[in-house]
Amino acid sequence: MENIDQLEGYVESDPENLYDREYVSVFNDKGLELEALAYFGGESLLASDDWIETGDWNVHTYLKQKIILYFAYGSCMDNERFILRGVDHHFNNAVGCGLLDEYELQFSRSSNDGGKADIVENGHEKVEGKVYQVPLEAISYLYKREGVFVNAYRPTIINVFINGENMRAITFIGTQKETETAPTVNYATEIIRGSKEFLSDSYVDKLRKKINLLLKQ
């Protein structure tokens, strides 16, 4: 901690710290609540006017790249709502199937109209998804659709394998993990329809069985 304090410009009880330090509650991608130390901008940073929209530096820097890849694993694999919203031209460059290690797809994001797809870290499963190359304009639409500004999902940068190559992509993860609930038939249809010609038959079959099991509960 002494080395990290030095890196962050923190000295206990110093009113002019670059950063101040305190314990906060955080959630990991398994849905567990933990207590962790965090550093907050101190007196020396009050005049800063730089703004990171989601508070995630990794996302902030990734979106400055010329090539942005988006990993969709739920209903955004389907084109129908893109067409209805007039944004389908942002999603017409699908580069292939992406494979995300050590995560599992769950319907653990609760909503008023059934469970929504989420990815949950578990260390041994794999999630397949449709990877698009998108312009920056597509991100604004996705932020609204995924409820980023109402804390439903958060953007994050992940490593996915595309045709055997390890690449970085943006995706969205539910901010709170809850007990899985059945998706609506329409939502499930979007996911299965969007997976065609991109995801493996074995993964789609596994996904169908999972949805059917939840619908029967």
The tens digit of pLDDT for each residue in 168-177 reads 999 999 998 9
What's the whole-number mean pLDDT along residues 123-152? 95
In the set 146, 165, 180, 190, the catalytic residue is: 146
Grade residue 41 by pLDDT with cuts at 50, 70 and 90. confident
Residue 117's alpha-carbon distances to 12, 69, 182, 197, in angstroms, are 43, 19, 10, 20
- Of 44-53, 56-65, 183-192, 196-205, minimum mean pLDDT range: 44-53
217 — pLDDT class (breaks 50, 70, 90):
confident
* Same-domain check for residues 20 and 105: no
Same domain, 62 and 41: no
Average pLDDT over residues 126-137: 97
In whole angstroms, what is the distance from residue 38 CA to residue 7 CA?
13
Provide the token pair at 102.
């050590």
In a domain, 61, yes or no: yes
Same domain, 23 and 130: no
**pLDDT for position 48:** 77
Structural domain of residue 36, as residue ranges?
A: 2-45
Same domain for 70 and 97, yes or no, is yes
pLDDT surpasses 90 at 147: yes
Could you tell me which residue, 51 or 131, shows the higher pLDDT? 131
Question: Quick one: 96 and 160 in the same domain?
Answer: yes
Examine residue 177 and state whether it is found in any structural domain, yes or no.
Answer: yes
Cα–chain center distance at 33:
18
Residue 51 resides in a domain: no
pLDDT at 94: 96
Q: Can you say how many angstroms the Cα of residue 15 is from the centroid of all Cα atoms in its chain? A: 37
Q: Are residues 32 and 61 in the same domain?
A: no
How many distinct structural domains can be found in the chain? 2
Residue 50 lies in a domain: no
67/41 same-domain check:
no
Q: Active site includes 146?
A: yes
Residue 197 has pLDDT above 80, yes or no: yes
